Each structure stands twice: as C-alpha cells, then as structure tokens.
Amino acid sequence: MSRDRVLALLRERPGEYLSGEAMSRTLGISRAGVWKAIEGLRQEGYVVASAPNRGYRLENSPDRLRVGELFGLLSDAKIGSQLVCLDTIDSTNTECKRRAMAGAPEGLVVTAEEQTGGRGRRGRGFQSPRGKGLYLSALFRPDLEPGQASDFTAWVAVAVCDGIEACCGVRPQIKWTNDIILNGKKLVGILTELSLVSETNTLDYMVTGIGVNVNQTPEDFSEDVREMATSLSQALGRPVRRADLAAQIILALDRMYAAYPEDRAEYLAKYRADCITTGHQVQLITPTARRQAFALEINDDFNLVVEHYNGKKETISAGEVSVRGMYGYV
C-alpha cells in the first residue's frame, strides 16, 4: 500500500525533508501517487509538513500500529519480515494460526488495534481495548521435536522484558512461567500454541501471542482484574508509543529466535534474574486442590523447584502458581 511505503520512507529520515521526486523514484510510483499517499496520511492524523523545493517531513504521528510504522525498523529482521497490521480481529493468535495453516512463512507477525476474543492461558479471556494495548502474535517454524520446544515461552518472556526495557527504560519481572509483572501487577500475558503434523507427530509451527497493557487507565480494566493489572503508562506516568514498543519487542524476539536453542545459558541466566517467583511462598493450584510450598529455584530446564513443609522437594514443569503478595494472594 502506497501510504505505508511513503510512511516507511519518512520514518527512515526523521526530522529531514524528502522530495516528492526522490520518493517517487525510490518507490516506483508517480509524484501524484506520492502526494495522494501524503494526503491520506494527513487524513489519518499524521502531521506531514511540506515546503517548496524541499519536499515532505513527518512531524507528528497518531498512536497507531501499521506496516509503515514498523517496516523500516525491522528491515533486517527475520521475525517481522512479513507484517499484517489489522484494525479489529477476534484474536491475533487465531489469525496467525489461520495464516500458518494456509502456508504463511516463518517470521509473520500479526498485530491488531483491538481483539474481540483475546485469549490467555487455560482459555481465559484477555481484555483488549481498542488503541490501548499491544496485541501481537508471531509465527515460528523451528526444526525441533515437540518436546524440545517446552521452554520456548520462557525464552519469549525474557525477550519481552528485553523489548520493554529497550523502549521504556524499565525492566519488568517474570512470574513463573510466563506472566510479565511490573510493580507487583500483571503487565503482559504470553500464550504459545503448537501445531503438529498428524502423520509424523512432528512440529509444524508455533504461534506466540503477546498482549501488553500499554496505555490503559485503571478504568479500562474490568473490576475483577483492576487491582491485579497495570499498564506501562500507569507505571511510568506518561503515555508510551505503541509502534515503538512493538518494534523493540519484535527485534528482541528476532534476537531470541536467532539464539534459540543454542544460547540457553544466556537466556536461562536472564530468566533467573528476572523471575520474581523464587524465594517466595507460593500456592500450587490444580483443578482440585491448592498446596502451599516455597519456591527455591529455576532449574536448567526452566522448571520451578519448590519445597513443601515436610522438606520434600518437587519440580514443577507446568501449571498455575500463585505468589504470596501478588494478585491478591496474601
């Protein structure tokens, strides 16, 4: 789309004028096509200055997620090599899986301004108000056995922390296994879904969905989660530009995937440093019971090692764990 291509060019040269002739030549479209794209961007809320004999300069932008905002920043990345930025979708994970089943390449990233059926772990809903959060899913096709990918979401959690820190200057923490926490409240949800080749039971693809609370106010959360959730703008006291955050998280995912699974030691060390669960009293939650324990450590497989009151140790590889002092568990 011409608007996104023109926007990407303007983004690559911040604060500089670009002539209509130069953009026409670079993009292979007419100068009238460039002018039409500029006018379309202005109608969407982009402030584009124009000056005789100098051209166009981008001066201000609305807080929108679109290909033109991200493409130039991700030009060398494998993850994000194909971008789909939607207005409204049921779920970015569901859309990414639909495209994966239709043959979409590894590296596809799907974003949306709004999700009408956002999902979290265990089928829970994920609140996704329009224009307030970052709702993003990425497609991976690693050459791995299904069992080898069990720790993938833990690597993703580290990458998300890296991306948030690069964009905002604050590093959140991880509640085992994959909740991202800031100031003791949930900031990010992560959901990874696998698909297997039925004939061989080998891994076909993985889709990881990331939902970040970016500019929500307390009133944007329903009453049942308001005390447990936060947003970057609440924590920082200022709004965060979602396109900038998306770019940094996608770049961090790209670096992570290039390192996966060989650089386990680096990501395991980061995960252990970021994990807020260890050293705390926890509840191990199953459909039928809640058991008290003390979280000792993250082992080399990213599993949680706990100690029960009788001194017996147990390694937890999956499930739900509540941490005392968080999410209303006191």
pLDDT digit string (tens) for 257-296? 999 999 999 999 999 999 999 999 999 888 888 899 999 9
pLDDT tens sequence across 121-145: 555 556 677 889 999 999 999 988 8
Range name among 64-68, 119-123, 202-206, 297-301 with the lowest pLDDT average: 119-123
Q: How many CA atoms lie within 13 A of 121 on its CB side?
A: 14
Q: Predicted confidence band at 323 (pLDDT cuts at 50, 70, 90)?
A: confident
DSSP string, 190-257: EEEEEEEETTTTEEEEEEEEEEEE-S--GGGS-TTTTTTB--HHHHHTS---HHHHHHHHHHHHHHHH
Give CB contacts under 8 A, 24+ apart, made by 314-322.
Answer: 316/284, 317/150, 318/177, 319/284, 319/285, 319/286, 320/121, 320/122, 320/284, 320/285, 320/286, 321/175, 321/176, 321/177, 321/277, 321/282, 321/283, 321/284, 321/285, 321/295, 322/282, 322/283, 322/285
> According to the model, what pLDDT value does residue 71 have?
85
Q: What is the mean pLDDT of residues 141-152?
A: 88
> According to the model, what pLDDT value does residue 199 have?
85
Q: Which fold has domain 67-274?
A: BirA Bifunctional Protein; domain 2 (3.30.930)
Residue 208 has pLDDT above 60, yes or no: yes
Residue 119 has pLDDT above 90, yes or no: no
> According to the model, what pLDDT value does residue 330 have?
36
Residue 148 has pLDDT above 90, yes or no: no
> According to the model, what pLDDT value does residue 72 have?
82
- Tell me which of 1.10.760.10, 3.40.50.800, 2.30.30.100, 3.40.50.2300 is the CATH number of domain 281-323: 2.30.30.100
> According to the model, what pLDDT value does residue 126 have?
63
Q: What is the mean pLDDT of residues 188-217?
A: 94
pLDDT tens sequence across 46-100: 999 999 999 999 999 999 999 999 988 898 999 999 999 999 999 999 999 999 9
Residues 305, 315: contact at Cβ < 8 Å?
yes
242-257: burial string, b at 16+ Cβ within 10 Å, e else? bbbbbbbbbbbbbbbb
> According to the model, what pLDDT value does residue 186 have?
93
pLDDT tens sequence across 219-265: 999 888 889 999 999 999 999 999 999 999 999 999 999 999 999 99
Residue-averaged pLDDT of the chain: 92
Q: Which fold has domain 2-60?
A: Arc Repressor Mutant, subunit A (1.10.10)
| Domain layout of the chain by residue ranges | 2-60, 67-274, 281-323
